[in-house]
Chains A and B, each alone.
Chain A
Amino acid sequence: MNSPPGTMQPASSLAQGAATPAIDVHGLNKHFGDKHVVRDVSLRVERGEIFGFLGPNGSGKTTCIRMLCGLLTPDSGSGTCLGADLLTESARIKRQVGYMTQRFSYWEDLTIRENLDFVARMYQMGGRAEAVERALEGLGLQDRAGQLAGTLSGGWKQRLALAAALLHQPQLLLLDEPTAGVDPSARRDFWEELHRLAAQGISVLVSTHYMDEAERCHKLAYIAWGTLLAQGTAAQIIASLGLATWSVSGSNPPSDISAALRGAPGVAQTVVFGTALQVSGTDEVALGATLGKLGRDQPALRIERIDTRLEDAFIYLMSHARDPAAQSAAA
C-alpha cells in the first residue's frame, strides 16, 4: 500500500482534527436543469460530532451529501471536507470518507465477504483479510459470510452497508437515511454504534426523518426547498424560533379545539399529540390571551405551559418557510 502525502495517517489526521472541522462548506449551490435544488447551503461539522440533517423529502439532503463526498460537483460554493478542498481534492476526500447510500448499493450478487473484500481493495487497504474478518466479526456474520448480500433482510443489509462504509477507517461518515425501513431495536443498536464511533473521534453527518434520532444528534440542520433554515443544537434551534407552547387536554377529541383555535390571534400551529393538543405561537402574549379565553369558555379543559419540543420547532419551520421560487415570484 502506498501512502502519498495526504492519505489517511491516523497520527496526522488526529493532529489535523484539532485544527480543521470535519466539514466546513460555504454557499453550496446545485441545479438540475432549471431546478435549483440546493441554495447557498453552508455547513460546519466539528470532529467527533454527530450532525443530524433533517428536512422533508426532496428538500436537497441527498444532493448535499453527494456533493460532500464528491459524487456531484457543486455549481458554486467552496469549502473543505477533512481539510481537503471540496472542488479540487475530491480524490483525497473519497479516501477518508465513508458513504452509506440511501438505497442499499452493494453488490447483491456477491457474498457478504466478497463485498467487504472488494471495498477493501478499492481503498487499497493493507492487511485486507484481517480487516474483512474483523468487520465480519463485528457484524456477527462470520457464519454467513458466504451468503449472497441480496438474500439479507433490510436490517442486515443496513448493518453490512455500515460495516463496509467503516471498513477503511474513515474520519467522516456520511449516512443518507441509514435507518429508513429498519425496526426500532435495530435502529437503537445502530445509534449506539454511531455514538461509539463519535467517541473515537469520527465525525458523522446523518440524514433522517425520525425525531427521536434527531434528538440523539449533537447538532442539527434543517433544510427545506434546498435552503438551510436552521442550524445548531436542538436547544439552540428551538430557542431561535421563539416559540411558546401550551398543551390543551381534557377535550375529546382534541381535533375539535384545534378547529376552534385555527386562525385565532397568536396561534401559529396546533398539533394533536395523543389526547392532548399542543398549541404554539411566536407571540406569547397574544397566544396566552387566546388560551386564557378558551379556558374561561370551557372550564373542563386543562391548559398548561410546556417546553417546545424539537418536533414542534420543525413543523413550524416547515410550514412557515416558503418555496423560495414562489417567494421570489411574489416579490
Chain B
Amino acid sequence: MNRFAHFSAVRWWGIVRKEFLQLRRDRLTFAMIVGIPLIQMALFGYAINTDPKHLPTALITADRSEFTRSFVAALGASGYFDIRQTLPDEAAGRRALARGQVLFVLDIPAGFTRELVTGRHPSLLMEADATDPVAVATALGALQGITQSALRKDLTGPLAPLGQKPAAFDVQVHRLYNPEGDSQYNVVPGLMGVILTMTMVIMTGLAITRERERGTMENLLATPVLPIEVTTGKIIPYVAIGLFQATIIVFASRYLFGVPIAGSLVLLYGAALLFIAATLAVGIMLSSIAQNQLQAVQLSFFYFLPNILLSGFMFPFFGMPGWAQTLGNLLPLTYFNRLVRAILLKGAGFSDIWPQVWPMLIFMGVVMAVAVRFYRRTLD
C-alpha cells in the first residue's frame, strides 16, 4: 500500500458533500442541533445559581425586643434569609432542619437583650443544614456583615460603646468583571463549551460507526479514499454545526441573559473553531475505537462527565486538589471555559489567551493522530 498516496481534494469534497446531504435528510439530528443549545441554555442558564438567596429560615424567639426585631429584619433584608416560620423550641427547630423544611434555624435565647445592654456579649445560635456546603456558604458568609450593621442604628447614646469599633485598617474589595456577582455571567458562557462538547462528540462519534453498522463502510473502504480524507471530510459539516450552535449561544447569552461581550467576537469565534475542531477529533477517535453506535455513545459519556466536573464549569477549578487540576488540564473544555470567560467578560486580547490556545492545539494534534492511526483501512 502506498502510504503516501496523495490527498485528493476531489475525494475530500465528495465526503464533505455526502455528509451534508445525509445530515440534511436526518431530521431528528437537525432538530437536535438547534434544540439542544436552546433547551440547555434556557434550562441551565436560568436554573443554575451559585449564589442562592431566599433560603427558608425559622425563628425561635425566647426574647423579643427592639434589638432582636432589628436583627431579624436585617436578616430578611439581606435577601439571603427568608423567615418562614416561628418555632416554639429548639427540638422543633431540629425537626424542621431534619425534615428539610428550613435550611436555617435562628435561636434567640431568653435574656438576650438584658445581656446585650449590660455588655455581657451574648450569643445567638444560627443552626444551618450544612449537608450541601455550597447552598449555605454564601448566606453564612453574609451573616457577619449583617450582625455588624444591624444593631448600629439601635446602639446609640449610652449603648454606643457596645457597637463594634472599626478595624485599624480597611480592605477594599473590587469585584472585577462581574461586580454584581451574577452567576449567569459565569454559567452561560461556560455552557457554550459544555453544549459543544456534548453534541460534537456524540454526532461525530456516530458518523463513522454508522457507516460500519449499515455496511456502507465496506463500500467506502473498497474505493481509493484515504483515511485522512474520510476523517477530516466527515468533520467539516459538524464544524459548521458547531459554529451555528455557538452563534445561538452567543445571542442567547447577550440578549436573554444580558451577559456583556467585552472582547472581540472574531477572537471568540476563532477560539470556538479551535475548540470545535479539538472536540470533533475526539469524536472521530472514539468512533474509530467503538464497534457500533451504542458503544460510541457510551464512550462519549465517559468523556463528557470529567469534562463537566473537572473543567471548572461546575466547580471552581482552583478548589480542586492538584492531581484533579492536572487531569482537568488535559481536557480542552478547561481551556475553552477560561477562554470564553476571558473574552466575553474580561475583554481579553489574543496575547492574553495564548496560554489557553496552545494546549488545545496540542490536544487536537495528538487526538487527530490517534484517530487516523486507529481508523481501520481494512475490515480486519
Residues of A within 8 A of B (CB): 1-2, 4, 66, 69-73, 88-92, 94-95, 97, 99, 101, 103-110, 114, 117-119, 121-124, 148
The answer to whether B219 and A94 have CB atoms under 8 Å apart is no
Chain B residues positioned under 8 Å from A105 (CB to CB)? 214-216, 218-219
The answer to whether A110 and B22 have CB atoms under 8 Å apart is yes
Chain B residues positioned under 8 Å from A122 (CB to CB)? 11, 14, 220, 223-225
Report the nearest B residue to A32, measured CB to CB. Answer: B380
| Known A103-B215, A109-B26, A121-B10; contact A95-B221, beta-carbon cutoff 8 A | no
Binds A, one of B1-9, B43-51, B171-179, B196-204: B1-9
- B8, B214, B220: the one contacting A108 at CB < 8 Å is B214
Chain A residues positioned under 8 Å from B168 (CB to CB)? none
- A4, A110, A119: the one contacting B223 at CB < 8 Å is A119
Residues of B within 8 A of A (CB): 1-2, 5-6, 8, 10-11, 13-14, 17-18, 21-22, 25-26, 214-216, 218-225, 378-380
- Among A114, A119, A123, the one with the most B-chain Cβ atoms within 10 Å of its Cβ is A123
The B interface is mostly helix, strand or loop, or mixed, namely helix
* Bound CA span A124–B10, Å: 6
Q: What are 18 inter-chain pairs, A to B, with CB distance below 8 A? A: A2-B6, A4-B6, A70-B221, A70-B222, A72-B378, A73-B380, A91-B5, A103-B215, A106-B219, A107-B216, A109-B26, A118-B17, A118-B18, A119-B223, A121-B10, A122-B11, A123-B223, A148-B25
The answer to whether A107 and B18 have CB atoms under 8 Å apart is yes
* Bound CA span A157–B22, Å: 19
- Give the distance to chain B from A294, nearest Cβ to Cβ, in Å: 52
Chain A residues positioned under 8 Å from B5 (CB to CB)? 91
The answer to whether B11 and A124 have CB atoms under 8 Å apart is yes
- Give the distance to chain B from A93, nearest Cβ to Cβ, in Å: 9
The answer to whether B8 and A124 have CB atoms under 8 Å apart is yes
Chain B residues positioned under 8 Å from A97 (CB to CB)? 222
The answer to whether A101 and B18 have CB atoms under 8 Å apart is no
Chain A residues positioned under 8 Å from B223 (CB to CB)? 94, 119, 122-123
Chain A residues positioned under 8 Å from B380 (CB to CB)? 72-73
The 4 closest A-B pairs by CB, nearest first: A121-B14, A122-B223, A105-B219, A99-B222
The answer to whether B222 and A71 have CB atoms under 8 Å apart is yes
